Amino acid sequence: MPILGSPGRDRTTTDTTTRGGWPVYAIGVLALAVAAVAVPGAIDWYGQPVAGVLVGPNAVVSGVTNSSWDGPRQGLHFPDRIVAIENIRLDDLPPSERGRRLSQIVRRAASSGASQVTVDLRRGAGERRLRLAIERLDGATWWLVAGALFFAGALFVMAGLVALWASPRAPLARSFALLASAAALFWFTLFDYHTSYRLVPLFLIGFALLPGAICVLALRLPDDAPLLRRFPWLEWATTVVGIAVALYFAVPFMLGRSMPHLLELWSSVLGASLLFFVLTFVVRYLHAQGHRRDILRALMVAMAPPLAALGLVMAAEPLVGRSSYADVLAYPALALVPISVAFAFVRYDLWGSRVLLSRLITRLVIGAFACMLAIGAGTALATELGVPFRSAAIAATASGVVAAVLVLLALHIAEVYVFPSRAGYKPSI
């Protein structure tokens, strides 16, 4: 169990702090850079018109949608492809330009007062023509398909950084940090993949790396399974495969060529890896005893249900399409995974680090979490009162950051000057 108290000058604290090293800073800087592009791009899409569905860069219908939109009502689902809109062929364009061209035509139609657009849809070998109502990315939809994803991605980044900071040499911490980085990259860029198309290569990298990272973590939580102890090269092999698949996905896109068919099936691979994680997790929990069972019990409720639900949806997606009703539950529930990991770390020393947990760092992490919630709530409230979304987001962000800093500072001052004895002597637990 980690020790809760002042970091002081303890050797364990000093070693742990210095051992985190450059990977912690590198991941943090990369996450901030991706968020700096993805979040403003998503804000620009608030209230924008869409043709009844969101589509990927190659005009493939996405499962990231609102169930009340016209596309889902008419049975559109992944991997249907829009090949023409308003008699303008999209399949004559480079694959990387089809989604962007479709968005331009929809915006032009909406600006001219049109309420519907005509599209030609390809499903399998056949095509059909239908009329789709022009929908708007309203507040509820934006928070579901963008805000919830950014929130989950930020939590994964924080959990991954804490794992590397606490125990950078532990195999479990490194494996989780790899998973957290890939998951955060995936969640931060998923909305962009269906709207602005500026971060598509990064999305493809995260998408490709996730299945292998999930499978390795399943074999390593809370300690190495016999299969991983017998074949320790499995982790490196899955990482190499993930990098190769990422190149296989990203290079054709950047060259303007057709995206490989494996991309449409990779959702099933990701879904299968999530199901593998859940099944492996449950089996290891049933066979665990003592401290190992305590760790897995702390993770069970928050990890297994959302991952199982999302795994079933994604595994069947290319065959039966994705249910947007499942997404409504699955997306926000994914935020429970890094929260449960953080709880297991504090309560049961998940990473085996024996670190002295700093009160200051703990307050900063909790303050950052509260700040994100405050920014989201403030932006939503101001938007409902009629403030433009971008202005509301900027004001809420500035207010949330300032409020978090002031509250943390006020708590520290109150503890030092109002409760000096407690500030001078903080008993370990």
List the chain domain ranges. Answer: 3-45+138-357, 49-136, 373-424
- With a CB cutoff of 8 Å and minimum separation 6, the contacts of 379 are 389, 392, 393, 396, 397
Which of 68, 190, 56, 212 minimizes the C-alpha distance to 135? 68
Confidence at residue 331, expressed as pLDDT on a 0 to 100 scale: 62
Average pLDDT, the chain: 81
**Residue 215 to residue 227: CA distance in whole angstroms:** 12
pLDDT at 362 over 80: no
- With a CB cutoff of 8 Å and minimum separation 6, the contacts of 360 are 7, 412
- What is the CATH code for 3-45+138-357? 1.20.1070
Of the listed ranges 207-221, 238-252, 311-325, the least confidently predicted one is: 311-325
Which of 191, 190, 193, 185 minimizes the C-alpha distance to 58? 193
Question: Maximum CA pair distance of the chain?
Answer: 77
Single-letter amino acid, residue 216: V
What is the per-residue pLDDT across 131-173, written as a single tens digit (0 to 9) for each?
Answer: 999 988 888 788 888 888 888 888 888 888 888 888 888 888 8
Of the listed ranges 154-158, 322-326, 387-391, 421-425, the least confidently predicted one is: 322-326
For the chain, the first-to-last Cα distance in angstroms comes to: 9
Helix (H), strand (E), coil (C) string for 66-84: CCCCHHHHCCCCCCCEEEE
Q: pTM, whole model, 2 decimals? A: 0.81
Task: Report the percentage of the chain scoring pLDDT > 70.
Answer: 86
Among the ranges 113-117, 297-301, 385-389, which has the highest mean pLDDT value?
113-117
Question: Across residues 183-197, what is the average pLDDT?
Answer: 92
Look at 304 and 58; give whichever has higher pLDDT. Answer: 58
The confidence band for 428, taking pLDDT boundaries of 50, 70 and 90, is: very low
pLDDT at 321 over 70: no
The confidence band for 103, taking pLDDT boundaries of 50, 70 and 90, is: very high
Domains 3-45+138-357 and 49-136 in one fold:
no
Element holding 232 (H helix, E strand): none
pLDDT at 243 over 80: yes
49-136 falls under which CATH superfamily? Answer: PDZ domain (2.30.42.10)
Confidence at residue 148, expressed as pLDDT on a 0 to 100 scale: 83
pLDDT at 390 over 50: yes
The confidence band for 14, taking pLDDT boundaries of 50, 70 and 90, is: very low
The confidence band for 1, taking pLDDT boundaries of 50, 70 and 90, is: very low
Confidence at residue 3, expressed as pLDDT on a 0 to 100 scale: 37
Confidence at residue 235, expressed as pLDDT on a 0 to 100 scale: 87
